[in-house]
Amino acid sequence: MARWIAGLDGCRGSWAGSLLDLDDPDRYRCALFPDVAALLDSPERPGIVGIDVPIGLPDRITGGGRAADRAARVRLGPARASVFPMPPRRAVYASDYAAAKAASRDASDPPFAPSIQGYNIFRYVRAVDTLLRQRPEMRARVYEVHPEVAFHALNGGRPLGLPKKGKRAREGLDLRWALLAAAGLPDALIEARVKGIPQDDHLDALAALVVARDISLGQAVPLPDPPEQDAFGLPVVIWAPALRMPS
């Protein structure tokens, strides 16, 4: 019987997805999904899904972000700016950016406001938060990941030092490709291309897939350990793959 896992990364209002059969690595699929439920309810029905979106929204934030955000930023060191600290739940559900900033400052200590980049992902956060509260049986299948945290672990716990965008993007993408290959993903899966999915989003979905694989094998690392929970019982934790030393 097939054991499917998946990785998801937000992509222009949709989701870049990669699926892999743990029992037969030659069976895989990459696709653009309109929402998370479409992947969860797909014919493969993946048992474990790594998703690049915050899960678990505390009512009040202390220390500059969720415990998971702080742990991930410590892990990444110089690359910590890639982890947007999530504000309190009320800010994520605010009607506009101004209201989100006000709600965040009101329920955080020390007070902080989300950046516009952070605010722009709130629609993804709300969608996943709503799904997991309306369909609690999905909580055992969906796990928060962060691609740069994953690549950091695949690089032996060392900063990559190369971005996915900008003048050195080609080098950065090639490095991430190599790390995914060293982690054991099939070359054909890494090389797969889907119309509408940029290469950086595809590689991020694959990084989430690696974390999903390690979760299924009991090898993934929770940040923090032990995980926290929000008022709805949703876990506040970012999962990282096991540390690997690339050749």
pTM above 0.75, yes or no: yes
**Which stretches of 22-158 are assigned E, i.e. beta strand?**
28-33, 48-52, 61-62, 108-109, 142-144
Q: pLDDT digits over 89-134, tens only?
A: 999 999 999 999 999 999 999 999 999 999 999 999 999 999 999 9
Is the pLDDT reported for residue 18 higher than 90? yes
Alpha-carbon gap, residue 62 to 46, rounded angstroms: 35
Residue 16 pairs in a beta bridge with: 9, 32
Comparing C-alpha atoms, which of 86, 93, 101, 8 is closest to residue 46? 8
Instruction: Sketch out the chain's domains with CATH numbers.
Output: 4-54+143-216 (3.30.420)
Q: pLDDT digits over 153-196, tens only?
A: 999 999 988 788 878 878 989 999 999 999 999 999 999 999 99
Which residue in the block uniquely carries the two structure tokens 């209201």? 99
